[in-house]
Structures are given as structure tokens and as C-alpha cells.
Amino acid sequence: MKKISGKLLTAVPYIISIILNLALYAAGTVCAVRGFLYGRLLLWIFVALLAVCLLSSVLGSFLYTRRFKKMAQDEILHYVLSSTQKLHRAEQQAERSLLRLKNGVIAYLGFVILLTLAIPFFFGAADFGAGSSNVLLLFSVYIQADLLHILIAIATAKPDFSQYADSAAYPQLQRLAKRAAQAVGIEGEIRFTFTDDCNAGIQRFGKVISLELGVPLLAVLTEEELYQVFLHEFAHMQDEHIRTARNARMLSVVLESGGSTVNGWANRLLFSLPAAVFSDKFTVFEMASSELNERRADKMILKKGEVGTAAAGLAKTAMYESYSNEYALLYPKPFFASPTPPTDVCTRDCTRFRRAIKLRKTEWLAILQQELPPRLQSHPTFRQRLETLGNPPFEIELPAEDSPYYAEVLRAAAEVDKTLYDLNCEEYDETRKEEYLAPLAVIEKYEREKKPLSAAEARPIVEAYLELHRFAEAQAICEDILSRAKNDTEAAHASFALGTLLLMRYDTRGAAYIQRAIDANEENFAEAGFEQLGKFYAKMGMQKELEENRKRVDAYLHTYEQREAIAELSRKDTLRLVPQDAERRAQIAHIASLCGETVQKIYLLRKDVTDSLYTYAYILQFSDGTDEAQQDKVVTAVFNYLDTEDDQYALFVYNKSYEKICKAVGDCCVYEK
């Protein structure tokens, strides 16, 4: 029955559009009978205008993507460099820009709809033959139906409350939430949904207020601390900027849903440019306003709450990130070590988080109170939020486990446990093979053989140890590789892995190792390395190092297009043959040994991107019948080897498009089985 009603709902936009267009067509024919003189002229004007809209949008979208998309991405990336006094002005500018664009997009949308309504009317007024007019009417029906389909889907969408908790089962949470809602002046039925993270969120669906609560957060907050969190969340519902974002998001959904019906490609083309530009401007506005939204909501606590209690609750919320970062050190047993999925994931996480706070709260608080804001942030740091609250004194206390409130926390954890267990059961065995049994097999093989490792051979073994949280063994291998490596390129992965391990323990020596890996192999370690360094410097309050890292990131981003070119091959590239000396032949022979019987041919050519940037491109042509898993295994082995070589290399798998490239360069086949 549901399938039938779903199909009928899909047909409704077409039925409405057909009836509307026939009515307009009939009205046009009446005008033609009464001597309407300009039917055909106006018809072709409106058809031409619609065609101009379509072509302009397609061409504009293409040019925007080619010429301005990178500029838009840079604007998004650099919009909020840090928390500064300019942030309010940035938000205002972004909001004005978004609202102007929104009004323009709505006007354009209305203009397109007007054109599609005018066309059937003037078809009738033009007095075409029935056959030709019926065909032409389909075009208007087609565009209108797709737009109606989107709007009806949005209008008829109903939130799914089936996963929401039974409100009667949580009287303590209801009491606190209603008290906060009344204090802020918000009315509506309050419903709860529980998650396994450490956060809280709020949405309104008609008369229903949906509060999303992370159970680990509930497990460490006292009742009064949770009340402060509720004040913060209900304050979001009064924020004008959030309402602006909500309305803009709705328009964004309409634009991005263009072409949602089977034949809806015309609307995808008609709105491709507005969708692309609006999406970027909307992202800029969200980034400029997200942190300020949180600060404005925190100010509600100043008006209606108790700042010391709020500070303690915010500290516990911020501690969850440190707990997550240190989790593998505190609880090293891998999740997939158990042959069956655990039944108490959320309950266990709550217990462990509480235990970790008791153990680590002094060190974590010291870190939180020195943390610097990152370049882009959706929430203020704890230090900033504490300043908003006036830097009140506070104590870290956990809720009593024998209270009625905590009984509700355990009940919520049990609900999440069941949901997670059902999800884990579906793919647990397959995921366990990939994330636990496969790395375990790598480790067991290595420990049986105990042979000396090259840097390339060490990489998968180090990664296997890391995946199983056996950090001491991984560190020992990294240190051994670093002691024997002939150059920094050979040691890059070991440097990166060792640096990561040291930063996990807040050891500042790790930063030098990661920077060493970036300098040796920017292509493979820069993005992850810069991100790690930025987070670490911000967390540890290292202002000078953070600014230097940001400068290096900026310089790296300016070479993005050149670096992207290294990963591609085309006939337009500057390509040439590579001379075969003894060292090169030895390299090719080693790659061939790694490939075994699976590779038929190996090609090698040099690609020059700029005067100083180039790459040696190896192309592996696999034998017919080699399955994808075997290809991946060979490619990984060759990649790990080339990644230790002291030069710039790129690796490709042969396909038909490379045949002409290789012929144009000349005889670049360097190995044939």
C-alpha cells in the first residue's frame, strides 16, 4: 500500500502541471478566437527567454567552476582566520551578501516559473495545430512538474519520531528541559532523541521541539549543569541569524534538488549557476556565524543561569575531545578484538569517560585553559566560553550514580546500546576482518619471520601495529628505520608515524618529526601533517608555532593546482622519456619483483609541470583477469616502495586512455613480462 501511495504522490506534480497547462492553453485559444494578434510573436519571445536562461545558467556554471570556484573555496577556507573583533563585521557582511543573493535567486526562480506558465498560454494564442502544441506543452509540464515535486516533497515531509524516546520514561530530563524552555520563553512539546556522542542540539518541527542529547554528556553532567546546557540550546531558537540560516538552507535544498524526477535534467541546467553560487555564499555565512551563534547562546546563561555551574558543564563537554584523543592509550584493546559485537557500547563509553575525568581532569583543564582558537571553528574554545561567562570559579563534580537522574541516563544508554548493536550486527564480521584480523595477520607474519625491514616493508607493519593500538612496537620499528635510513625521503613515513605517537602523549618532540616528514614528502604527508600540527599547537597554546604553521599552510595551498596536475596524465602534458641508467634499471627490476605475475607491462615517463616541479610517472598494465583486490595489493606495495625513493614519483594503472599518451612519448615501456 505504501508503494502505491508513493507512486501516486510522485504522479501528483505531473497531474497538477498537466491540468494547469491545459487550462492555460485553453485560455490562450479563447484569446486567439477573439482576435489576439501577437500570440506567435510573444510565444517565441518567451521560448527564447527560457532558452537564454538555460544556456546562461549552463555557461555561467561552467565559467564559475573554471574561474571562480577556487576563489570561492579560498574565501571559505580563509574567511575566519581566528576569533577576532572582525568576526561580527564578517558575519554581517556575509549575511547581507547571502540575503541579496537569496532575493535574486527567488526572483529568478519566479521568472522561470512565469515563463513556463506563459508558454502554454501563448501556444494556445498562437493557434498552432493540435499535434505540435501538445508536443510543445510537454516542455512546460516537464519543468513545472519537477519544481512542484521538490516543493511538495518539502511541504509534505514529516519528521520521523519513531526513534524518539518515550517522554514519560524520562521525567527528570523533561523537568529540566521544561524549566529551561520556560525561562527562555519557548513553547512546544519537548521530545528527546539520544546519541552516542558528547553533544546537544535542538530543532523545531512544528509544535514539537526536538532535543538531541549525547548520552556520554548526560553521564558526566549534574542536573544543574544540564539545565545550563538546555538554556544554551533554547537560546538558539531565538537567534535571528540561525533563522536566516534555516531559510537559506531551505532554498539551498530546492536548488540542489533540481532534476529530482526521472526527466528533471532541465531544472538541473536551469538552476546550475544559482545552485553553485548560492551554495558557496551559504557556506561562507555559516562559517562566519557559527562561532558567534554559540557565543550568543552562552550569553543566555549570563541572564538566566548560574555561570560557575555552566563553566563546569562546558569544561566536561570540552574534555570529551581529549578523552577521544587519548582513548587508545587509556583503553588499548581494539573495538573489533571481540569475535561478536559488544552489546553495551554506549554504557561502556559513559563509564569510561567518567573514569577518565577522575583520572585526567587536572591535566585536561590545564590544556583547555591555554588552548588557542583554530583557524576555522564552529564553536568557541572552552577558554573563550569561560571568558564570555566572566571567568567564574568552578569545581568538577560527577553526578551521583544512585540518583533518579542517573537512572534515566542509564536507561538512555541502554536505548542507544540496542540501536548500535543492531547496526554493528549488520557488518561486524566483515569490518572485523578488515580492521582487526587483517592487521593481526600482518603482525603475526612479521613476528614469525622477524627479518630486517626496509622502509617500504616496514610501512604496512607499522600501520598494522597502530591499528591494533600496539604503540610501543610501532614506535620501536619507526626508531629503527630512522636510525638506518639513508635520507629523509626513505624515513618520511617512520617520521610521520613516530611524530603522531609522540603528539598523542603531548610530547612536543613529535612536531619536529612530522615537519621532517612534510619536508621530505610534501605530496603525501602535508595535508595530514599540517592539520595535526595546527591542532597540537592550538591545543598546547603555542601561538608562535601556530602562526608559522598557518603561513606554511598558506604557501602549500597556493601550489594546489600544480600538485593536482602531478596526479593526472593527458596528451596536453609536457612528457618525455626517462634515461635508463643502472640505478633506474635496478629500481624498475625491484618494482617488477613487487608486481610478480600480475603485471604485463610497466611504462615510465617524465612529466614536467613547471620549471622546478616534475614527476616520474610509472604506469602498471595488469594482465587480463587480474582481480581488483590483487591489483590494489600490488599498487599498495609499489606505492610504499616509490614513497621511500628520493625523488618525485606518481603511480598509475594502465587504461586505454594512456595508449595514445605512451605512443606520443615514444618507447616508454621499460618492462614486459
Those residues whose C-beta lies under 8 Å from the C-beta of residue 474, and which sit 6 or more positions away, are 462, 465, 466, 497, 501
> Which string of b and e fits 191-224 if b means at least 16 CB within 10 Å?
bbbbbbbbebebeeeeeebbbbbbbbbbbbbbbb
Cell for 351?
563509564
Among residues 3, 21, 24, which one has the least CA distance to residue 13?
Answer: 21
pTM score above 0.75: yes
pLDDT in tens, 61-92: 888 776 665 555 555 555 443 344 566 777 77
State the angle between helix axes of 455-467 and 492-504 in degrees (0 to 180), rounded to the nearest 10: 20
- The Cα 498–Cα 509 span in angstroms is 10
State the angle between helix axes of 307-330 and 492-504 in degrees (0 to 180), rounded to the nearest 10: 140
State the angle between helix axes of 272-304 and 223-236 in degrees (0 to 180), rounded to the nearest 10: 140
Residue 211: alpha-carbon gap to chain centroid: 23
Spell out the SS3 assignment of 352-421: HHHHHHHHHHHHHHHHHCCCCCCCCCCCCCHHHHHHHCCCCCCCCCCCCCCCHHHHHHHHHHHHHHHHHH
Those residues whose C-beta lies under 8 Å from the C-beta of residue 55, and which sit 6 or more positions away, are none
> Rounded to a whole number, what is the distance in angstroms from the first to the last CA of the chain?
61
- The Cα 183–Cα 189 span in angstroms is 15
Cell for 155?
511541504
Those residues whose C-beta lies under 8 Å from the C-beta of residue 621, and which sit 6 or more positions away, are 599, 600, 601, 602, 603, 654
Quick count: other Cβ atoms within 10 Å of Cβ 241? 20
Among residues 457, 417, 387, 374, which one has the least CA distance to residue 219?
Answer: 417
Those residues whose C-beta lies under 8 Å from the C-beta of residue 20, and which sit 6 or more positions away, are 117, 144
What is the pairing mode between strands 614-622 and 189-195?
unpaired
What is the pairing mode between strands 208-214 and 189-195?
parallel
Choose the CATH number for 451-558 among 1.25.40.10, 2.70.98.40, 1.10.10.10, 3.20.20.150: 1.25.40.10
The H-or-E segment that residue 599 falls in is strand 599-608
- Going through 171-325 in order, the beta strands assigned E by DSSP cover 189-195, 200-205, 208-214
- The Cα 509–Cα 610 span in angstroms is 35
Question: What does the pLDDT read at residue 279?
Answer: 79
Question: What does the pLDDT read at residue 85?
Answer: 52
- The Cα 71–Cα 62 span in angstroms is 14
Cell for 600?
604485463
Among residues 511, 501, 509, which one has the least CA distance to residue 535?
Answer: 511
Question: What does the pLDDT read at residue 84?
Answer: 47
Quick count: other Cβ atoms within 10 Å of Cβ 341? 20
Those residues whose C-beta lies under 8 Å from the C-beta of residue 570, and which sit 6 or more positions away, are 661
Cell for 425?
550486527
Are 303 and 228 contacting, i.e. CB atoms less than 8 angstroms apart? no
Phi/psi of residue 213, nearest 5 degrees = -125, 125
- The Cα 174–Cα 408 span in angstroms is 11
Integer angstrom CA distances of residue 168 from 159, 171, 174, 190: 20, 6, 8, 11
Question: What does the pLDDT read at residue 383?
Answer: 93
Question: What does the pLDDT read at residue 176?
Answer: 96
All structural domains of the chain with their residue ranges: 2-156, 451-558, 567-672
Among residues 79, 72, 77, which one has the least CA distance to residue 101?
Answer: 72
Q: Is 567-672 a CATH 3.30.460 domain?
A: yes
Low-confidence ranges of the chain (pLDDT < 70): 1-10, 33-37, 39, 66-87, 127-137, 153-157, 256-267, 375-376
Sign of the dihedral through C-alpha 234, 287, 552, 519: positive
The H-or-E segment that residue 651 falls in is strand 649-653
Q: Locate cell 608559522: which residue? A: 548
Sign of the dihedral through C-alpha 361, 366, 370, 374: negative
For residue 148, the one-letter residue type is: L
pLDDT in tens, 155-194: 666 777 777 888 889 999 999 999 999 999 999 999 999 9
What is the pairing mode between strands 599-608 and 614-622?
antiparallel
